[in-house]
Amino acid sequence: MHRVSLVLVIFGVALTSTAYGQANQAPVRGEKPILINRMMVDIRILCSQNFQGRQAGTNGGDKSARFVAERFETLGLTPVVQKNESPSQKQWGQYSSLSATKVLFPTLVNIFPIQTQKEATSASLHVGKDYLPMFDSPAVNLTLPIVFVGYGISDPAQSMDDYYAVNVKNRIALFLRGKPPVYSQWITHEEKVQTAQEKGAAAFLTVTGPLLSRYEARKGLEQIPLALYSSTPENRPIPGAWLSGTSLDQQLATIHESLDSLQRQANENPGQVSRPLSLLAHLSWESRQKPGALINVLGLIPGEDPILGEELILIGAHRDHFGEQVGMLFPGADDNASGTAVITEIARRIIEEDRKPKRSILFVSFDGEERGLLGSKHYVRNPVWPLKKTVAMINLDHVGVGNGNLTVGVTRLDKSIVQQAAVPVGLAGKINVYGYFPGGDHVPFFESEVPTITVVSAGVHPNFHQPSDTPDTINPDVLKTAASFTLSLLNILANPS
């Protein structure tokens, strides 16, 4: 059997005994039930002020790692230690240094026509409602002209260059979220920011246009500003902000432009509509960085089969969120306290089963997903189990709200396994099966040729990356659906006939 170094540590996180006892209600006769109340308790704890929004690299992120580690230890999972970690780090499983950025309140963003004498430092836009700074932005205090650069894509090889014949040097680049319908490549926000920086932009603004893609409409993202990071820690970004589409449209109207018109032009003539706008933008805020730690928490259930036990099923969910920023707490109940609660409940069910799994199962609470999949990238670079012996990676994210169905993305596995798992738990017809999803902690595994299955609750997620993503918005029935399906799926993968 493949060996990893193991250590058992008592973690010092106190639980409310009443809440914990209530969550562990007695099972009904027959098959052990999914304990919905237990998952809801975990979500409320993770979203409490004590964890400060679980931003990776902060004290709140550290506390959330301790909480999950204590849960794993209480359930009877064996904590897995990275072989090259120092003794002081072994309790966490995987650890690396990470600086966390906090954008301080007050902040100021103002947009106004160039020809007016409007005072740049007057407050015309309101943080949270009209805009959100990027949460890894450096401090900034500038007033500069705005240049519209379509979707902000520079890919001449694909005959797509929004920066062709337009100068953004020492200007503020304004680009749309997403990509035009004719562009077939994947493009990330981080890549757009890097391009703007390489072209010489001093700052950037981004916005969701009124012509929503099918994905945006399905998720109910609308045109509100979203919490986001702009770059990985290795590449300090230029300052930037996400604007409300409605708010920007009001400013565009003052120069006889509209966001609808700009997006239609960018869709119909991609790479040919970039131009300076007769607008100035003033950006001002302070930010600070503090050294901290990226922490993945790992818990193992060894497989009992002498041969299949050498193979691994990895099931993970990211734990981190955006923390406390610009005077607001981002609790991250759906994103992703929900997935974290589901994997701990699944671990409990498997531990309490009379039959132990044939294949080994590794439960991973990833850190740093919101910072560019840092935790899952760290694991793939430093796997505790050979990736070639990892039969599948299951990723759960956003599994607490929606319409009652599940959206499942499958790569390098027969998609029929999804319906095979849905039938025994009464979820046939409630699973929408797709292929590769471009975002999430499964991506580094997919890129390393590990088969992946991604589970997301279907339907609208109205509080996505908002301070309003609170425990009271979680639908317990959706949680149960996600947990029941994933447990069934895990049993099939871990116990091949």
Q: Which CATH number does 17-99+291-494 carry? A: 3.40.630.10
Q: Are 455 and 486 in contact (CB under 8 A)?
A: yes
Residue 336, preceding bond cis, omega within 30 degrees? Answer: yes
According to CATH, where is 3.40.630.10 located in the chain?
Answer: 17-99+291-494
Beta strands in 151-230 (DSSP E): 154-155, 160-161, 172-176, 203-207
Single-letter code of the amino acid located at 84:
N
Dist CA 359 CA 51 (whole Å): 34
According to CATH, where is 3.50.30.30 located in the chain?
Answer: 105-285
Residue with tokens 């589409």: 245
Select from 3.50.30.30, 3.40.109.10, 3.30.420.300, 3.40.50.10440 the CATH code of 105-285: 3.50.30.30
Between β-strands 240-243 and 406-411, what pairing exists: parallel, antiparallel or unpaired? unpaired
Residue 291, preceding bond cis, omega within 30 degrees? Answer: no
Q: Give the neighbor-by-neighbor strand order of the sheet with 140-148.
A: 108-113, 275-285, 140-148, 172-176, 203-207, 240-243, 131-133
Dist CA 317 CA 222 (whole Å): 26
Write out residues in the chain with pLDDT < 50, as ranges. 1-30, 86-90
What confidence score (pLDDT) does residue 5 get?
33
What confidence score (pLDDT) does residue 495 get?
97
Orientation of helix 338-352 relative to helix 36-46, angle to 10°:
140
Indicate the burial class of 186 (C-beta count within 10 angstroms; 0-12, 13-18, 19 or more): exposed
What confidence score (pLDDT) does residue 215 get?
73
Dist CA 445 CA 410 (whole Å): 12
Task: Give, in order, the Cα–Cα distances in Å from 383 to each of 95, 207, 308.
Answer: 12, 37, 19
What confidence score (pLDDT) does residue 19 get?
38
Where helices occur in 354-466 by DSSP H, the ranges are 374-381, 416-422, 443-447
What confidence score (pLDDT) does residue 18 get?
33
pLDDT digits (tens, 9 = 90+) for 43-69: 999 999 999 999 999 999 999 999 999
